[in-house]
Chains A and B, each alone.
Chain A
Amino acid sequence: MAVAFIACRSVTRTHRVAQALKEAGFNAHPKRLPATSPGSGCGHSVQIEQSKLHDAMALLKEAGFDEVTALCRKTDGELEPCP
Chain B
Amino acid sequence: MIYLDNAATTLKKPPEVARAMQQALESCGGAGRGGHQAAVAAENILYQCRQDAADIFHMENPERVILTCNATHALNIAIHALAKPGYRTVISGFEHNAVYRPLMALHAGGVQTTVVPTPLFEPEMALHLFEEALSKDNVCLAVCIHVSNVFGYILPVERIAEICRSKGIPMIVDASQSAGILPIRGDSYPVWCMPGHKGLYGPQGTGLLLVPPGMPLEPFMHGGTGGNSQSTEMPAFLPDRLEAGTHNAPGIAGLSAGIRHVLKQNGNPWPGLPLLQQAANMLSVIPGLRVFSSPRLFCQTGVVSFVRMGMESEMVSGLLGEQGIAVRGGMHCAPLAHKTAETDKHGTVRVGLSQYNTLKDIQLLVKALRRI
Contact = CB atoms under 8 A, between A and B. Distances in A.
Where chain B touches its partner, the secondary structure class is loop
Of listed B32, B44, B50, B240, residue having the most chain A CB within 10 A: B32
A15 B43 contact: yes
A42 interface: yes
A41 B227 contact: yes
Nearest to A43: B227
A41 B32 CA distance: 13
A30 B43 contact: yes
B126 to A, nearest CB: 37
Contacts of B39: 32
Contacts of A39: 230
Interface residues of B, number: 25
Contact of A9 (B34, B62, B237): B237
Q: Chain A at the B interface: mostly helix, strand, loop or mixed?
A: mixed
A27 interface: no
Interface string A13-44: 10110000000000000111000100111111
B35 A10 contact: no
Contacts, number: 60
B62 A42 contact: no
Q: How large is the interface on A (under 10, 10 to 19, 20 to 34, 35 or more residues)?
A: 10 to 19
Which of B228, B235, B239 has most chain A Cβ within 10 Å? B228
Contacts of B239: 10, 12
A36 B227 CA distance: 9
B231 interface: yes
A9 B231 CA distance: 13
Most chain A CB within 10 A, of B39, B47, B50, is at B47
Q: 8 smallest A-B Cβ distances: which pairs?
A: A41-B229, A32-B35, A41-B230, A15-B47, A11-B32, A10-B240, A12-B63, A11-B43
Interface of A: 9-13, 15-16, 30-32, 36, 39-44, 67
Interface of B: 31-32, 34-35, 39-40, 43-44, 46-47, 50, 61-63, 225-231, 235, 237, 239-240
